[in-house]
Amino acid sequence: MDNNRQFLFARNNETDILLSSLNKFANLYCIKVPTDIISEERVAALLSFVKSNSLGDVVEAKPSERPVSFPPLPFFPDNPLKKTDHSNDILEVIQELTVHLTGRCGHKCRCCRSIYRQMNFCTSSKCRLDKEDMARIGDIIDRINVKKLNVIMTEPYDSDLLEQLFDKAEMRNTLCCYSVNWKNIALGQMAQIHRSCPNVLFKILIDLEDISEDQIMSLMSSLFSLNGSIIYVFVLHKKKDEKMLYRIIETTGIEDYEAHYVSDGLNDKYLNKNYFLNKSDLKTLKCSSKEILANKYINGNLYGKVVISSSGEVSFSENSKSIGRLNDDIVSSLNAKYLSQASPWFLTRERKHKTCGQCCYRYMCPPISDVELYMKRPSGCERYMTGADHDK
């Protein structure tokens, strides 16, 4: 306890079993009390003692539920990242490499720049990665154990170079994704990639703000030959988009899709209600002990990700500064900088000192997202946006 209070009470076999379970860190100070012993005299006395001294509580819960409870902060172990030699760690922990392959696009979508910074997706620029850049990316894949390669397309690219890159990645059991805005689909190239690299997934970005339902149906029909290899990525701005998505799902029966909320500068109220947490949401959060420990030290949304822009700049996320270029010894740069305070991999809620860092839910909340980073939002819930008092 914070004030170092100690309590003495008689031990017995029944209560020893419960207390032993409570002392196991993996249980996070929350255990089930079987109904057949809860009314037993010694157990009932212990539970009454615990409640009357504000040491805990007893609540009813369904078998599938687990009440939220976790140890006081002093019981968390020290940061393991500070205790080992990290000279080669970067080679082991990079999970996802995102490559913005091509740049030019003439559609001038209203949310182009904001969407790619929140979702690692569509982008438009004057730059374009060339053959030498592709060779360097292939070298990175060879040297680093990347689990996922996400290639962002804007205009058709050299199919032979794409196939070589995907083949190299697949040989290392890397999941490969070809991601493109629905407006920039090159059916011929996609069909060729599908024939040559059948394990590549095609992710199609559909912003529900700038497409009609008839266009979506026509699009899905044109991509019928690629079914089983396509994931539709829907972008939601407001309630109308949600309703449209529900109708599409009901009409088409699609199962392979993602839905993402994004900020467009005009929908903050909608995001507060539907994306960010409120006080009621906080009270129903559920986490495993591993998730809680991870949230103390790393950002699970951003950890292990590297982004390469169409200009060859390399960074740890769409919303962080460049740490080098493809023509540098980029792996050495990654090794040297991934543990720095500026790395978004370790941007935990605890580091938001004025808001989340003071909150008792900081290890329970979902990690800081690219949406929050893009918005420069102080927290992932409503309480710090409305001036509400936070729990301590």
Is domain 89-275+303-343 in CATH 3.20.20.70, yes or no? yes
CA nearest to 137, candidates 180, 92, 99, 175: 99
CA nearest to 263, candidates 293, 282, 237: 237
Predicted confidence (pLDDT) at residue 138 exceeds the cutoff of 50: yes
Confidence of residue 9 (pLDDT cuts 50, 70, 90): confident
CA quadruple 366, 369, 375, 380: dihedral, nearest 10: 0
Predicted confidence (pLDDT) at residue 277 exceeds the cutoff of 60: yes
Mean pLDDT of 128-137: 93
> Which residues have CB under 8 Å from 368's CB, separation 6+?
299, 301, 302, 347, 348, 349, 352, 380
For residue 342, the model assigns a pLDDT of 73
Higher pLDDT, 328 or 313: 313
Contact between 151 and 164 (Cβ < 8 Å): no
Share of the chain above pLDDT 90, in %: 44
Identify the residue whose tokens are 């960010």.
276
Predicted confidence (pLDDT) at residue 296 exceeds the cutoff of 70: yes
Confidence of residue 392 (pLDDT cuts 50, 70, 90): very low
Least confident of 61-65, 82-86, 275-279: 82-86
- Report domain extents, the chain: 13-71, 89-275+303-343, 285-298+347-392
pTM: 0.77
Higher pLDDT, 218 or 2: 218
Contact between 104 and 126 (Cβ < 8 Å): yes
> Which residues have CB under 8 Å from 268's CB, separation 6+?
none
> Which residues have CB under 8 Å from 14's CB, separation 6+?
37, 40, 42, 43
For residue 64, the model assigns a pLDDT of 66
Mean pLDDT of 70-94: 54
